[in-house]
Amino acid sequence: MQIESNQSAVPIPSRIPTSELTERIQKLGEWFHNLDLCGVKTAPNHFLGDFPNVKWKQISPAIPEHLEGVTVLDIGCNGGFYSIEMKRRGATRVLGIDVDDRYLNQARFAAETLGCNIEFEKRSVYAVDQIPGQFDFVLFMGVFYHLRYPLYALDRVIKKVRGTLVFQTMIRGSETVRSLESDYPFWNKEIFFDPDFPAMYFIEKSYSNDPTNWWIPNCAAMEGMLHSSGLTIIAHPENETWICKPSQVTRDGRYILDMELDGTL
Ligand SMILES: C[S@@+](CC[C@H](N)C(=O)[O-])C[C@H]1O[C@@H](n2cnc3c(N)ncnc32)[C@H](O)[C@@H]1O
């Protein structure tokens, strides 16, 4: 793959006076991503600390330092933190998608301020397969548990992964993953009382003051779903993040999603 000649791998930040920058950041509404925009922090009081820098510190060693020639799709890009980090590593093309205009506007402003050439587009994960082609890296981070149909979305996302999927979700319950039998008899009810057995917690009302938190898996359920969607886990750099490669995402040349939807899986 060729690097576009008009893009520099090292972005050149723009020079907006700090007072104007602060005002423009505030006008874009409350930020979820704490970005450092030329010395001005966008979410300095985030309840998770310096987020998502704290996560990136743990995940970034599992991602190549040099991404020249690489394409990236960032699903649920929010304020653009991960898109910007991938661009900083030299990615040739980065496309960030999100359903929320406030976050997309923040991401566009952040990328422009930092001199990063990144595409941002309003699009739901459920429409991800309408984006032409596949991507070397797909980031699907912090979105899974916000979806009513999480596995359906994951099976759609997989269609876009040419190389690597970086997946992150909130995890609750047991973080122990044990090997399981390939089958259990119908009358074995005890297994379901084992906290390590794969489970997803369904939130009918709200969790953490956020009614869009729908399904929260434990670790075993998440790894089980990743395997079941045809992915091989190659790294688990922190307790909520898995780096995966597609290995058995198709059967007889057809994606699992398409087979399931037409009843042939
Ligand atoms: C918890 S934030 C995670 C942001 C970022 N990916 C990260 O890991 O820091 C969830 C993001 O997913 C976006 N989102 C929610 N539902 C979505 C959907 N159906 N399609 C795409 N993005 C979605 C939200 O707007 C929000 O920006």
Each residue of 51-93: pLDDT tens digit? Answer: 999 999 999 999 999 999 999 999 999 999 999 999 999 999 9
Cα distance between residue 107 and residue 129, in whole Å? 22
Tokens 């596995």, residue? Answer: 151
- Write out the two tokens for 92: 């040739």
Domain span at 239: 18-261
Please report whether residue 77 resides in a domain: yes
> Which of 46, 125, 146 has the most ligand 1 atoms within 8 A of CB, as the residue to mutate?
146
> Does 3 map to a domain?
no
Residues enclosing ligand 1, CB less than 6 A?
32, 52, 75-76, 78, 98-100, 103, 124-126, 141-143, 146, 168
Residue with the smallest CA separation from ligand 1 atom 18 is: 124
More confident: 95 or 18: 95
What's the confidence (pLDDT) of residue 226? 98
Q: Which of 107, 108, 158, 118 is nearest to 135 (CA)?
A: 158
pLDDT, one tens digit per residue, over 99-124 is 999 999 999 999 999 999 999 999 99
**Residue at token pair 């941002």:** 120
Residue 73 covered by a domain:
yes
CA distance 122 to 119: 10
Looking up residue 61, the CATH number of its domain turns out to be 3.40.50.150
Strand partners, 97: 75, 121
CA dihedral sign of residues 67, 69, 73, 79: positive
Query: How many distinct structural domains can be found in the chain?
Result: 1
Mean pLDDT across 131-148 = 98
Read off φ and ψ for residue 120, nearest 5 degrees.
-125, 140
Report if residue 193 sits inside a domain: yes
Residue 1, pLDDT > 50, answer: no
Task: Give the helix ranges, DSSP H, for 52-170.
Answer: 53-59, 81-88, 101-113, 150-157
2: pLDDT strictly greater than 60? no
Q: How confident is the model at residue 16 (pLDDT cuts 50, 70, 90)?
A: confident
Look at residue 13 in the predicted model and tell me its pLDDT: 60
With respect to residue 135, please indicate whether it lies within any of the assigned structural domains.
yes
**At 216, phi and psi to the nearest 5?**
-120, 115
pLDDT of residue 11: 53
Whether this prediction's pTM lies above 0.75 is answered by yes
Greater confidence, 13 or 49?
49
- Report pLDDT for 15: 75
- Asked if residue 10 belongs to a domain, the reply is no
Both tokens assigned to 233: 């886990």
Task: Report residue 170 as tokens.
Answer: 């909130």
pLDDT of res. 72: 98
Average pLDDT, the chain: 94
Distance 78 CA to ligand 1 centre (A): 6
Q: How many CB atoms are closer than 10 A to CB 114? A: 20
Closest atom, ligand 1, to C-alpha of 51:
9
> Facing residues of 168 across strands?
141, 241
In a domain, 8, yes or no: no
Average pLDDT of 202-227?
98
- Residue 9 is assigned to a structural domain of this protein: no
List the beta bridge partners of residue 165.
Answer: 138, 244
Q: What is the mean pLDDT of residues 138-166?
A: 98
CA-nearest residue, atom 13 of ligand 1: 76
Given pLDDT bands bounded at 50, 70 and 90, which one contains residue 12? low
**Per residue in 174-213, pLDDT tens?**
999 999 999 999 999 999 999 999 999 999 999 999 999 9
Q: Among all chains, which residue has been given the structure tokens 């953490």?
A: 208
Best residue among 56, 74, 78, 152 to mutate for probing ligand 1, ranked by most atoms within 8 Å of CB? 78
